[in-house]
Structures are given as structure tokens and as C-alpha cells.
Amino acid sequence: MSLPRKDPEWLAHIRSLRCCLTGRRGNVVPHHVRLAGTCGVGQKPPDYQAVPIDAVEHSRIHTMGTTTAEDAIIFERLVYLLIEYMATREGEGF
């Protein structure tokens, strides 16, 4: 069974977390991380590939991109959140 692409409940959880780049709370939005093979050109990645990013930083990322250090932080946080996501879905056939 495949994971759902849309998961509003998970995105609400992501919004409740601290920004993984600044550590700030509030005004956090889900930043969908692109991984090879999970979405096509012009498609948003699945919700389970979202990390919490401050809205100001999120705008900057989409305008200017990320540094190598930021990519490493985002990827590390994504791995942690994917493990959490799978643990919360245990028993659902995933």
C-alpha cells in the first residue's frame, strides 16, 4: 500500500513545530522537500515530505534557494519526521 499524497492532519502537525532552520515557533509553514522519484516537474511533493519552516525563511528559500548547510539541516529533519510519520501510521498497512 502506498502512502497518501495529501494529509491535512500531518500538515497541521508540521505547522505546530518549531522552524527547523531558525527554531522559531508561530508563523511556521510546511516546506515540501523534493526527493527524486516522488513528484514530477510542476508537482508538489507529498505532504509526508514536509518540514517546518518559518514563513519568512520559506519565502526566501523559494526566491533564493538554500545553502548546502541548510539542505543538510532540512534533510536531517525530514528523515526524523518521516520516521515519526510512519510510526503514527503503524497498523494502517504502510
Nearest CA to 31 out of 3, 1, 57, 69 is that of 57
Measured distance CA(47)–CA(27) in Å, rounded: 18
d(CA 61, CA 56): 9
Grid coordinates representing 34 are 523534493
The rounded average pLDDT for each run of 10 residues, N- to C-terminus, in the chain (94 residues) is 82 95 94 74 83 94 91 92 88 58
In the chain, at which residue ranges do the beta strands (DSSP E only) sit? 28-32, 50-54
Q: 3-38 burial by CB neighbour count: b if 16+ within 10 A, else e?
A: beeebeebbebbeeeebbbeeeeeebbbbbbeeeee
pLDDT of residue 92: 64
Residue 39: per-residue pLDDT: 64
pLDDT of residue 91: 65
